[in-house]
Structure 1
Amino acid sequence: MNRLSTYIISLLLLCSNMATSQNINDLKEINSQIWNNFSKSFETLNYELFESLHSKDLIRVNGGDYKSIRNKEAYLEGYKSRWSNPVLSQTISFRFSERICKDGMASERGVYKFTMNPRTENQKIYYGKFHVILRKENGLWKILIDYDSSENESINETETLYQNTFAVDDFEKY
């Protein structure tokens, strides 16, 4: 009986590790296809790259003081016009509080840090919470639902929420 128990426990641990590995592989794929390209598109003002990250069925929601809900075309139009100014300098980074993915679907929540005019005397930093729902479309991850809010500008560098989230490549939590 002792050998049977050991075998069952070993099998359960093996299956658990296989499920985790699959999850981490999906997260790495999401990082490569979504988050790396999202940040790159902001830094290079590459509208086409940014547009390619979003599902044709995108629903974009702004919460807090800037309440709105838009489809893909209405949301992306603002970026197309803003990013036509080649002098614009900006960066964006993400930290995660929760990442769940399975069967070509994912939910990711966290905090972003958006910097205008980085490393200059005119630097301005903005923070907000985000929650995105992703789905795989034709083998590629796409943003289906994108929600963010500045929480009425209550999130900042020293705010516990930002400090207690995890880097995009920190998979130990998940």
Structure 2
Amino acid sequence: MIKKTIIPIVVLVFSMTSICAQNLDNLKALNAVWGKFYKAFETLDYTLMADIHAEDLVRISGGKRILDYETYITNYKTNFERSKANGQTSDISLRFFERINNDSTASERGIYKLTRNKGTENEQSYYGQFHVLFKKIDGEWKITLDYDSSEGGTIGEDDFNKAFAIDDFEKFTTD
């Protein structure tokens, strides 16, 4: 009788451990993609943006327009080249309030902070809420849907600070 009770409990414990570990592995892999995203802004390299997005991308900006992959990447190429020519810098940071994933799909929601010309008298920061869907394509995580909005200018530093850091895995691996 005790064996019949203990075996299911042991199986449940090991199952939960592998689910959390699997989730943690996925979060770390997704963070590697976000690392390329950060690097794209830091170096103003649109090719990094092209690399992390799926070619069937749906990009929704502020609830006002929908773009495809080619238009979205071309816009980054133009904007990054303009920034380089004008000596402007970009720094982006993400914080999260939701990170859900399995081995093939991930949904991540949070707040971004985009700072232009950081550390100068022309420094400006912009905030928005984002929702990104990833799919694992040929073994690599790719962004397939990217939605962001400033929610009518209501997203700010307080919202950013309330969300969780990109490396705060504990919040998203245990319930």
TM range (shorter): over 0.9
Dislocated runs of 4+, deviation >4 Å: none
Paired position in structure 1 for 2:60: 61
**Residue pairs, 1:69-80, within 5 angstroms:** 69-80=66-77
Work out the CA distance in 1 between the residues paired with 2:91 and 2:162.
Answer: 21
Shift of 1:3: 4.2
| Pairing 1:144-163 to 2, within 5 Å after superposition | 144-158=144-158, 161-163=159-161
Provide the C-alpha distance between the structure 2 equivalents of 1:4 and 1:76, rounded to a whole number of angstroms: 58
Helix, strand or coil for the counterpart of 1:61?
strand
| Deviations 1:127-171, CA, capped at 9 Å, x for gaps | 10000110111111111000000011111112xx32221111111
Q: Does 1:165 align with 2:163?
A: yes
Report how far residue 103 of structure 1 moved. Answer: 2.9
Identity percentage of aligned residues: 44
Find the aligned partners of 1:55 and 1:116 in 2 and give their Cα distance: 27
CA distance in 1, matches of 2:39, 2:125: 18
Number of residue equivalences: 169
Calculate the TM-score normalised by the size of structure 1.
0.92
Measured in 1, the distance between the counterparts of 2:18 and 2:75 equals: 43
Q: 1:155 is paired with a residue of what secondary structure? A: coil
Under a length normalisation based on structure 2, what TM-score does the superposition of the two structures give? 0.92
Alignment of 1:1-174 (within 5 A): 1-32=1-32, 34-64=33-63, 67-85=64-82, 86=84, 87-158=87-158, 161-174=159-172
Q: Secondary structure at the match of 1:133?
A: strand
Find the residue that maps to 1:170 and give its secondary structure.
Answer: coil
Tell me how far 1:10 sits from its aligned partner: 2.3
SS in 2 for 1:83: helix
Matched-pair contact (CA < 8 Å) for 2:135–2:141 = yes
Q: Report the CA distance between 1:7 and its aligned residue.
A: 3.0
